[in-house]
Structure 1
Amino acid sequence: MSSLAITLPAINNDAFAAATNFNMSGYAAPKIDKVRVAVIGLGMRGPGAVDRLSYIAGAEIVALCDKHADRVAKAQTILTGKGLAEVKSYSGEDGWQQMLKELELDLVYICTPWAYHAPMAIAAMKAGAHAACEVPIGLTVKECWDVVKTSEETKKHCMMLENCCYDFFEMLTLNMVRQGLFGELVHAEGAYIHDLLSLNFSKKGYDNMWRLRENIKMNGNLYPTHGLGPIAQCLNVNRGDRMTHLVAMQSNDFMMAKRAQELAAEDAFFQEFVGKRYRGNMDTTLIKTEKGKTIMVQHDVTSPRPYSRIHLLSGTKGFAQKYPKEGIAFGHSFVKEEELKDLYEKYTPELIKYIGEKAKEVGGHGGMDFMMDWRLIDCLRNGLPLDHDVYDGASWSSIVPLSCESVAKNSKAVNIPDFTKGAWKTNKPHDLTLAGGGNTEIRPKVSKDQKNQLKVE
């Protein structure tokens, strides 16, 4: 099996740096009592977002948009099934652009394929709306810089919707880090190990097989932020420390090209995907920070392995790891179940105590999706800084192209741009409390009987 290493010219990843000096970290935008939301992209992630946002009384969904009109019509039934009115519909290739021209929006919620993320977020901010964008926020370093520049120029938030930052153990350990339980963090690990081989080759999965095509175009860590985001905030990346450089090493592809051949032998549809060079099974990216901390992030969505985001934190006084089983240690052994329970009770953040059970009830990856959405709307309504700003989205997302660059250069070190332009030295960690917020109400769930009654009427 031939090596994927090739020689590339040196790239100056700081060359795209914006000149804007406004700092979006800690920025509190003017309060919005009723947040007018438009959702773009109603395939894999969008319908769930429509459902979750419909429970938040402070959010008013005013428009739905997708390239396919039938998906928009189907998403409308999510609203009408709860007794809410249908909203403006937009479809077609340029429907989202028409929507931005016609409507006054407070928030554009983007759930489209990756290549649309940066262009849509930039257009939304230029149209006067805040942007909330599924991961990653950009596929190139230039796109990441363009998103940062636009956010600073328009003073509109651009939050990458990294839901894993709101999972329960991740929030718990973040609070433990803030309380000094682990001492000073030295090393952290995250991952996205998720067997998506069948889904990536499914005709009924991603529209026009777009995610499979991304696995052909790019050879690196294509999806770093689920693992990186939670540990980066524990390390105060962009808020007291920053990622400086990385090296990435990747295995060859041992499964995707073979699967394409197997499927093409039975179905001519897959002939297009035969003979392509697919990204390798496992990518391991190592990152170092300005303060000498190390990070490992892995990506494998092909191999038959149990799901894992690792979420490992190693400090001078303690250790935590989420997968394969949640555990905390202060020496050679994990603490026993009863002590672990006491730690949970003591260090569970205020946000989870306030909204956690309601989030589990509404759902979305066990509740973390809803907690993220509710927190976003609550911050916008109360004029609070967002938990994750545009610099987080840009720096975490930049690992995609930078890991590809390192792999292509036979695992040579690649510099990571400072998207804060030096502000990381004074930026403050985001607030884990509900100070100034927590007043956004949640609509009750509609029972089956109520849904049936709505259908009859």
Structure 2
Amino acid sequence: MSYPSRRTVLGGAIAATAVVAGGAVLSPASAAPARRPGQKSMVGVPFEAVDTVRVGVIGLGNRGMGMLGGWAAVPGCTVAAVCDIRAPRAKTAADRIAAAGKPRPAEYGGSSSSYQEMLSRENLDLVYIATPWEFHYAQGKAALLAGAHVGVELPIATELDELWDLVDTSERTRRHLWLMENCSYGRNELAMLKMAHEGVFGDVTNGHGGYLHDLRELLFSDTYYTDAWRRKWHTRSIASFYPMHGLAPIAAAMDINRGDRMLTLQATATAPRGLADYRERHVPRDHPSWQEEYINGDLITCMISTQQGRVIRAEHDVSSPRPYSRINSLAGSRGIMEDYVPVGAAGARVYLEPDHSGHSWRDFTSYRDEFDHWLWKTVGSQPNPGGHGGMDYILQWRVIQQMRAGLVPDIDVYDGAVWCSPVPLSVQSLDNGGRPVRVPDFTRGRWAHKRPGLDSRQSEMPPVA
């Protein structure tokens, strides 16, 4: 296959300008820019505690509207403002909040600059961004500069220079920005994290995660993705657009940015067959999609090495017929876990020494119960308005709890940057014949120090006055 460059396809900045010599590893051009005077790391910096978290929501499509009820339900959180380029959506969102007996949020909408008006007029503690991917960087940076903390849906940005700029802007403004990575709060994922950190897998050597989700029907829907924004990405670039749901839990279990770091990434891509084939069989000839050419491979695989010698395989495929899977597999010197298999109530299987022998898989349920994260024992056992099996609300609850209690965030801007870096780095690798490329150290050396993350100690939500 011929891989168009990101400059040719997207009209943006080139991902890298490194010299290639034989099989040498390519270095990204935007690695480790110098900090400005006075700029300091946000590693370990707690939130300033607030009694009530005032949230502003930007983007009220499927995801933003789906998360709205969760924000309104978390104790000590109020949805203060809602914004969408389509003003009727903002009104619908405000109506829902008011109908639930909560104070009606301010409405903003009607233009592409409505979010800027909201940021300039409202006193917000947290801005939640759920717009299409191409707007995340600009809106996230604007919210930081407005003085708010920022939670961004996946990815936080799609270019290396944008990821670095969000890191630097967070450090300069002393405000946190993080990836709203709900799958990192999945019950199996958090149990796997605890097992890894308690040595159940022995020395962890490798992990496998991804986002394998047949989205073909939704991608060709005229209503689900507004203006077909997500389908159009498949006409612009060959890249691993959305591997974070599977990659982030594996990275957390390996203590990436907390004792280990991603070192290199090497990408492969299959031919782009799935979307065109689906269109041929299911989409009328007068549909606008027939004017499109799909260039992104159906399966993009990123092989990632770490400083400590571990290997992560991260996959992305939304255009092939298959059951849903995030893979979620972790292995080490004493055993392995594999998720998304038809074994037991937990939907996962394990083989662990010395508990098991005979080369036969065992059910994961008893291990999940033993290593259940405190968030699932407490928040997960309560009435839960969130989607995706409850992990959406657990993420929202935890964010608000950390802000109200003045805690250090579980996920910080450095995690968000490195988890999203496979988007541009996969382009860079594929543009250069699949050669490995270096992953930037967004922590600027702080990765080597052990520190807590998603393996948090139990703490209480402050009482509501």
Given the two structures, how large is their TM-score scaled by the length of structure 2?
A: 0.89
Q: Does 1:410 align with 2:433?
A: yes
Q: Does 1:328 align with 2:350?
A: yes
Equivalence for 1:4: 3
Alignment RMSD (CA, Å)? 2.0
2: CA distance between counterparts of 1:348 and 1:161? 21
Residue 356 of structure 1, aligned match among 380, 384, 390 = 380
**Would you say the 8 A contact 1:351–1:434 is kept in 2?**
no
Equivalence for 1:143: 162
Residue 280 of structure 1, aligned match among 269, 293, 297 = 297
1: CA distance between counterparts of 2:316 and 2:463? 36
Amino acid at match of 1:245: T
Change beyond 3 A, Cα 1:436–1:168: closer
**Would you say the 8 A contact 2:200–2:352 is kept in 1?**
no
Residue 218 of structure 1, aligned match among 211, 234, 237 = 237
Secondary structure of the residue aligned to 2:73 is: coil
Equivalence for 1:77: 95
Amino acid at match of 1:406: S
Q: Does 1:35 align with 2:53?
A: yes
Given the two structures, how large is their TM-score scaled by the length of structure 1?
A: 0.90
Secondary structure of the residue aligned to 1:217 is: coil
Equivalence for 2:406: 383
Secondary structure of the residue aligned to 2:257 is: coil
**Bigger CA drift: 152-161 or 70-79?**
70-79
**Would you say the 8 A contact 2:31–2:440 is kept in 1?**
no
Equivalence for 1:158: 177
Q: Does 1:101 align with 2:116?
A: no
Q: Does 1:86 align with 2:104?
A: yes
Secondary structure of the residue aligned to 1:54 is: helix
1: CA distance between counterparts of 2:136 and 2:275? 26
Equivalence for 1:110: 129
Change beyond 3 A, Cα 1:107–1:18: farther
**Would you say the 8 A contact 1:191–1:298 is kept in 2?**
yes
1: CA distance between counterparts of 2:184 and 2:211? 13
Change beyond 3 A, Cα 1:5–1:25: same
* Deviation at residue 431 of structure 1 after TM alignment: 5.8
2: CA distance between counterparts of 1:268 and 1:132? 36
Number of aligned positions between the proteins = 435
* Deviation at residue 358 of structure 1 after TM alignment: 2.1
1: CA distance between counterparts of 2:399 and 2:200? 28
Deviations 1:177-215 (A, max 9, x none): 111111111000001000001111111121111111111
Question: Which consecutive unaligned segments of at least 5 residues does structure 2 have?
Answer: 7-15, 19-26, 342-346
* Deviation at residue 279 of structure 1 after TM alignment: 0.3
* Deviation at residue 357 of structure 1 after TM alignment: 1.8
Deviations 1:102-125 (A, max 9, x none): 111100000000011111111111
Equivalence for 1:347: 371
* Deviation at residue 48 of structure 1 after TM alignment: 1.5
Equivalence for 1:446: none
Change beyond 3 A, Cα 1:440–1:315: farther
* Deviation at residue 438 of structure 1 after TM alignment: 3.1
1: CA distance between counterparts of 2:281 and 2:340? 33
Secondary structure of the residue aligned to 1:131 is: strand
Equivalence for 1:65: 83
* Deviation at residue 434 of structure 1 after TM alignment: 4.4
Equivalence for 1:401: 424
**Would you say the 8 A contact 1:35–1:381 is kept in 2?**
yes
Change beyond 3 A, Cα 1:305–1:335: closer
**Would you say the 8 A contact 1:26–1:427 is kept in 2?**
no
Amino acid at match of 2:3: L
**Would you say the 8 A contact 2:257–2:447 is kept in 1?**
yes
Amino acid at match of 2:30: D
* Deviation at residue 3 of structure 1 after TM alignment: 3.8
Secondary structure of the residue aligned to 2:83 is: strand
Q: Does 1:318 align with 2:326?
A: no
Residue 294 of structure 1, aligned match among 311, 333, 339 = 311
